[in-house]
Amino acid sequence: MSGHGRLSDDLLLAFATVVLSLSPTIHALARGQELSSQEPWPIPSQFGPPQHLRGEEFRRPELPTEASAAKGFVFIHGEYLPPPYEIRYAEGEVAINGHKLTCLPTRGFHGPGYGGRFFGPGYGPGRSSDPWRPLVGELAQHLASDTVVMSFADQPLVVFASSAATYDLLKMLTRGSSGATNSNSAKVMPVSYLEQLPENFDRAVWDQWIGSFEPPANLVQRGLALVAHYDKTEQDAKSSLAATKRLNAWAYPLTIGLMVVTVLAVGHLLGGRPHAGKPTTGIDDSPEMIRALNWSLAFVAMLSLGDLALTILAGQAGQMRELNPLGSHLIHDTRHLFGFKVGATLPALLLLWLLRRHKRAQIAAWWVCLILVIVTFRWLTVNSAFMSV
């Protein structure tokens, strides 16, 4: 064998040795050993703990026996309990603020173990053969979301996990209160919360309770506040959606119109600044200067209206932030913003027109027109990049 051949074989052998030493899997396979005999594959958590952790070595985290909640609405035996809530588990029973739950703890349970239907008793973190103990953490979690929890004797536990169901129930309970000013209060359709009642809940028990329940003052106060908050949130969402639709509808025609006005204004500005390189004091009542000032003021008025329209539309749609500290307080009130814009612009334009024969007024009108053109260019760039998408 030639020297080159032996060198190639040595290099291949060295490469194979390095690869085998760096890869335990390949090294094990090279020895003819099965990988599963050294390290068993873990079993997915939904089928219980891994085989090598089953038995006494598997330590489950302890489920809480006490919990608290500052929000939510709790009804036990048809009576309302005001917050805060202290949830305790002791001797196979759960109590809220000292009131024992006598319902059936079936809400959220799929078998003797707490959690999912894939678990058997005793498998998975925090599993318990006692269905009451896991209820402590579950109730605290639901109440923290400001939802309704109801316990009737010998009936399944009722948890209105949907905010819509909680809203409709509270609106139904407070519909006759003096603070319920919404005109739709008498037209509440109790579909959302009735659909969330457990299937084996006795509807006769529910109908009897809802027909005879008189909400206490503290429940009425909290219920009206939550209903008003939901109504405001819904109204804000509808207003924002309507504003976005208006912006999308007007963005294109406003952009095209402002582009035309801007091009014409640039052509006007390219005619030159009045009295450039000449004395800027005194009177110049030539028709050319008067006409140039009139055109400058006309472009300023049109571009100011375009800026106002885009500011209002973008502000209502929540697609801009006004950095002007004065304008930031007015941008969410269309009437005040319109009044401020018109009240600040028209007097300034009128003053320049009254001083139209003065050279400085003619120069000022040209500069104001230039500034408005730059501002409009900024709006057109924003529209092209974001709003028209």
Question: In tens digits, what is the pLDDT along the chain, a chain of 389 residues?
Answer: 444 455 455 555 455 444 444 444 444 344 444 434 444 444 444 445 555 555 544 455 678 889 999 999 999 998 999 999 999 999 888 999 999 999 987 644 433 333 333 333 333 444 556 788 888 888 999 898 888 999 999 999 988 877 888 888 888 888 766 555 454 444 445 556 777 788 889 989 998 998 889 999 999 999 899 888 888 988 888 888 888 888 888 888 888 999 999 999 999 999 989 988 888 889 999 999 999 999 999 999 999 999 888 888 888 887 777 666 766 777 777 888 888 888 989 999 999 999 999 999 999 999 999 999 999 998 888 776 655 45
DSSP state of 283: B
Q: Please indicate, yes or no, whether the overall pTM of this predicted structure exceeds 0.75.
A: no
**Is 275 in contact with 363 (CB distance < 8 Å)?**
yes
Residue 278 has a pLDDT of 87
Residue 341 has a pLDDT of 86
The distance from CA 297 to its chain's CA centroid, rounded to whole angstroms, is 44
| Long-range Cβ contacts of 128-132 (<8 Å, 24+ apart) | 128/63, 130/92, 131/105, 131/106, 132/89, 132/92, 132/93, 132/94, 132/105
- Which of 63, 134, 62 is closest to 94 using CA atoms? 134
